[in-house]
Chains A and B, each alone.
Chain A
Amino acid sequence: GAVVSQHPSWVICKSGTSVKIECRSLDFQATTMFWYRQFPKQSLMLMATSNEGSKATYEQGVEKDKFLINHASLTLSTLTVTSAHPEDSSFYICSANVAGSYEQYFGPGTRLTVT
């Protein structure tokens, strides 16, 4: 149980275009979903936290107009990278939490390359 999927697993896009990444909780309803970013050989950095039906809370330094997060249901959150640039190339990982649980359940990640 507690499986989180991400789609796509990898994506290449051209500079200036937008790309959407989906995060789904497959067998549970996620109270909260999180989006992390991981640069090569670095740790995970939290970008934003979202609760279903509410606006996401972004971490300091993360541009909310560039990284649009939608959490329309208890099983789906999306991250849209708008007007992508090469410096946005990274590994994006989502996670989900159930109310009352100490854990976050992590997705397999999405590799974004902006050319």
Chain B
Amino acid sequence: AQSVTQLDSHVSVSEGTPVLLRCNYSSSYSPSLFWYVQHPNKGLQLLLKYTSAATLVKGINGFEAEFKKSETSFHLTKPSAHMSDAAEYFCVVSDRNYGQNFVFGPGTRLSVLP
């Protein structure tokens, strides 16, 4: 069975400082991993995805994540936070059965302080 742990339910950073949102996963197979962002009362937007290609994945809006198999981690980073980054972030793991069995992490709420 797959599972996702997002170690921080809430992260608060100042505008212009780096962002780190942590995600650890458990999967019996070689997983696909995704980060989604959700602004209040909105749907999900895909930030980036890992599907067994390069381990360092660059996404939209300056976000990137690194797949580390030895650590079973897929942490999301951004060098400089912007006020518009304040939102809920979900890490998702999927097994190798193409696009099926998405398991969502509990989410991390990112606050950006002026």
Contact = CB atoms under 8 A, between A and B. Distances in A.
Interface stretch (B15-23, B38-46, B72-80): B38-46
B99 interface: yes
Interface size class of B (residues with CB under 8 A): 20 to 34
Interface in B58-91: 90
Contacts of A103: 34, 46, 49, 99
B78 to A, nearest CB: 21
A101 B43 contact: no
Contacts of B106: 42-43
A34 interface: yes
A65 B44 CA distance: 28
A108 B43 contact: yes
Interface size class of A (residues with CB under 8 A): 20 to 34
B90 A43 contact: yes
A34 B107 contact: no
A19 interface: no
A26 to B, nearest CB: 14
A32 interface: yes
Interface of A: 32, 34, 42-46, 49, 91, 93, 95, 97-104, 106-109, 111
5 A-B pairs closest in CB distance: A108-B43, A97-B99, A106-B44, A102-B51, A43-B104
23 contacts: A32-B99, A32-B100, A34-B102, A42-B106, A43-B106, A43-B107, A44-B44, A44-B104, A46-B102, A95-B102, A97-B99, A97-B100, A102-B32, A102-B49, A102-B51, A102-B94, A103-B46, A103-B99, A104-B102, A106-B36, A106-B43, A107-B43, A111-B41
